[in-house]
Amino acid sequence: MMPTQRLLREGRLRPRERELPRIRSMLKSAEMNARIATGMPITGETSTLIFREVYESIRQLGDARWWLAGYEPRDHEASIEALQDADVKEKVLLHRLSRFKRIRHDINYRGFLANEAQAREIAEFWGLCGKEILGQLQKEVK
């Protein structure tokens, strides 16, 4: 169960209307960006871009999950928390989400560069979990 009440108390969520066109757009953007990013060859030069774009797609899945529930997340942590209890086959991989968030923060705010292993790991996560969550959310907005 998503931590709705706690996040509302902390001001990290706010109630919103379920805007299905917005949610569909988020899901389309997440799918397209992840498909393009994971289709790139992973090299030292592309690793940071791949990591950042796939992370953004994962975050958008969390945003979409909150919007479907009638809330707008106000930070990345709330978006990522929305996915922690996702019903996916590879549930153990969901434990990587908070680490992905920290790596993305280091990339964006500390000048960190993702390495090839990190880019492969997040691309693998997308293939094993992201696509499955995307499919579930797409069914909910039909």
- What mean pLDDT comes out for the span 54-78? 96
Examine residue 50 and state whether it is found in any structural domain, yes or no. yes
Establish if 104 belongs to a structural domain.
yes
For residue 135, what are the domain limits? 43-140
The answer to whether residue 117 is domain-embedded is yes
Tens of pLDDT, residue by residue over 70-117, are: 999 999 899 999 999 999 999 999 999 999 999 999 999 999 999 999
| 8 A C-beta contact, residue 34 and residue 51 | no
Confidence of residue 3 (pLDDT cuts 50, 70, 90): confident
In a domain, 135, yes or no: yes
Q: Evaluate whether residue 13 is within a structural domain.
A: no
Answer yes or no: is 63 within a domain.
yes
CA pair distance 80, 69, nearest whole angstrom: 15
Q: Summarize pLDDT for 26-51 with one digit per residue, the tens.
A: 999 999 999 999 999 999 999 999 99
**Domain for residue 111, yes or no?**
yes
Count how many domains the chain has. Answer: 1
Any domain includes 131: yes
Cα-Cα end-to-end distance for the chain? 23
pTM of the model: 0.95
